[in-house]
A and B are shown apart, each in its own frame.
Chain A
């Protein structure tokens, strides 16, 4: 990068768009849509992930085998692939039903019927990932826990509900927080199927007609959007690390990491920070 380009980056006129009109709030509003999508996505994924995890650890192969295939397929596909597929494959009657059923108090961005495909995609992918995270939490428990619960005369359901899940799910909290970082970043992908969030808002700022008839400089706009993500995700990774250290100290076990996910690797390596 030459000096000319560096001055381009920092020239005050190129940052004027930030204080012009309500550009800044416009970008921020878009970012809030991303955060909402991430939170809704992860909450629903947790619910479906728990169902999948229970199926996967079931002793009935009739349940565990198909659940295993389902999980391995969805978590090994690119999320954007899933979202684009659903955008084409979800029948319009479903989308219509979604648009009719969604309550009004939820944010405008979610009222769009296209959001259904995006949400389903986020849930299909992340419930598969969270299923694996939960499974590794449950499998990290000592076998004795199962045996002791069984010896006390608890049924399988009671063992799960009172002994295994409360301990196993607690151990998955740090890994879930780091997955939230991924989900946060992944919510930008829904801009590709035309949902109004931060990337779309940023793009429209940089198109002619905004910024008082002048285009906002795209480089600066997206650097700012990137900064939003860095701030939020940095806090999440710190939180995840703190939780993980506490959990490790308490239980004295290390969880097996789910493979093929960048932020799970990062969470693991964060722990070796000097």
Chain B
């Protein structure tokens, strides 16, 4: 298991290769979030971010068979097309890997203390939280 909050970029292949040492793993699901259109600065709550992400990973482990998991979230200034977040989940079978990966992203969106500030031509603008993200996280509770 690996959780990292960092300014540096990451490499998907490197992270996934690290999983392929365990012959019990038969499925690896990954998600990469990238910056859409507008440059931004990602602020976070140092100290809490890692703790929040680790808690989310533990919840996923309690629900699905997760043999390995990597979550990387960047902060600081980011440009369009830059990578923001990686979630990679390794399981014996694809059902658990897909579900746990989506669950971790949905929870991260509503529980991990990151805030995006877009740098537009008209000036800076804090991104508003979206109700659809709350709904996405809530469906795992039913």
B is bound to A: no
Contact surface of A with B, Cβ cutoff 8 Å: none
Contact surface of B with A, Cβ cutoff 8 Å: none
